[in-house]
Structure 1
């Protein structure tokens, strides 16, 4: 297992800041740049500099601190090529299937259109870590602002194909609300019911519900489970396609 350290902390109203540090080379990256002050505080607390910023998509709550962090640290900014014009201070563009080096680690780029058309996730196979931002949430997925339900379904299935033990960091603390919805479409899932109880305990204690894992999401996240017979029966969509079941789950979540 690669020697990396990951520091997760709250930003803005419900964003997460995430710093990734390669212990072997001392190189540090910020996953997105939601807010300057918490990121600077975390870097100083950990005793790290900031070499890179990996941007997943162009939304303001993921890029707003890029100019300030770049000025302060001289960080190199990576981001999706198709959204480059919307990302301030971008230095290097990445596209689906690209691989680049972060210190001693390889980083694979997985394009996941849906939330935005150019959204990318960053996967470090040697470390077994995925930074999913606003594509995959614990017990949820991102709202579809620019893409189609079919695109989002395909994107999520790509992430679900990663090893079950893959650790997943997401862009927001939405898990309690996601759990409340998930049980309405998957009420017979005992693993989901148990997880919902654990999430309530964590949030009542003021603790984060992330990171999660691909395996846990596959077992409990309805957006990764459109083929499940119980969900299909609950939605009265037994004979529908997986993409159509997914679209109905997303439609219900949007109005939940």
Structure 2
């Protein structure tokens, strides 16, 4: 169980920004700030000051708040080395096996290309926490804009190997649409059916459905459960066209 305070901040139409505070050191960072205003408002309300920004990839709905937050706080921006040219605010370029810290909390960088060519995720093994950006979603995975199914399948294998209790902080509220596809992909999966009942009820109450856990995803995520790159490719193509 982590002692980090992790705050979910809704942004844009369906993004989640993760504001992370270490009460021991008093340090605060933000993961994938889509926009600055709600983040700065929340830190002001809590009396926190952001010292770092961690980016998983270059897309504007993950980096759009970088410049304004950096200007307001002097925060250091860390993100994927392979996408440095596309993140002009970047200060620290990160590659596979590098690490970043928030106080005494250590995050290891895993390269997870597929959604974008240089996508990374941040795994904090001591806290059983992983920030997956647009690689792993609740019951889904990211679209293959710049990579291929082989890369995404390798990502899923790495994530499946994390301890099942690991808490997954992804960047979008896609769970309901992902779950509808999951039911179509694996119609006999009782765990998915049960989960979707809870998801539908939560969304009817306008409640968030993330974070999730590796255990939940192993039971219900058709991409994490794919048995080959080819099966993942077929499922990703079907999901891209799915209108259920």
Which residue in 1 is equivalent to 2:207? 207
Aligned to 1:255: 241
What SS is found at the alignment partner of 2:16? strand
Q: Which residue of structure 2 aligns with residue 234 of structure 1?
A: none
Secondary structure at the aligned position of 2:126 is classed as coil
CA distance in 2, matches of 1:17, 1:2: 19
Note the C-alpha offset of 1:89.
Answer: 1.2
Distance 1:81 1:16 in 2: 23
Listed one character per residue, the Cα deviations across residues 2-21 of structure 1 (whole Å, up to 9, x for unaligned) are 42110002101110011111
1:94-109 matches, within 5 Å, as 94-109=94-109
CA contact (8 A) 1:11 1:38 kept: yes
Structure 2 length normalisation: TM-score?
0.97
Q: Is structure 2 residue 135 aligned with structure 1 residue 135?
A: yes
Helix, strand or coil at the partner of 2:116: coil
> What residue is the counterpart of 1:230 in the other structure?
none
Root-mean-square deviation (CA), in Å? 0.9
Helix, strand or coil at the partner of 2:127: coil
1:150-172 alpha-carbon deviations (Å, 9 max, x no partner):
10111121111110000000010
| Equivalent position of 1:69 in the other structure | 69
Q: Provide, for residues 197-236 of structure 1, a one-character-per-residue CA deviation record: whole Å limited to 9, x for no partner.
A: 1000000001000000001000100001113xxxxxxxxx
Aligned partners of 1:91 and 1:142: how far apart in 2? 26
The aligned runs of 1:221-240 (5 Å cut-off) are 221-227=221-227
Work out whether 1:22 is the aligned partner of 2:22.
yes
Q: CA deviation at 1:98?
A: 1.1
- Runs of 4+ off more than 6 Å: none
1:218–1:225 Cα contact (<8 Å) kept: yes
- Normalised by the length of structure 1, the TM-score is 0.93
Partner in structure 1 of residue 186 of structure 2: 186
Native 8 Å contact 1:2 1:105 kept in 2: no
Once residues 210 and 9 of structure 1 are traced to their aligned partners in structure 2, the CA distance between those partners, rounded to angstroms, is: 12
How far apart are residue 88 of structure 1 and its match? Answer: 2.3
Number of equivalenced pairs: 242
Whole-angstrom CA distance in 1 between matches of 2:46 and 2:131: 20
- Cα distance in 1 for residues equivalent to 2:222 and 2:19: 29
Match of 2:223, SS state, is helix
CA distance in structure 1 between the partners assigned to 2:38 and 2:17 by the alignment? 8
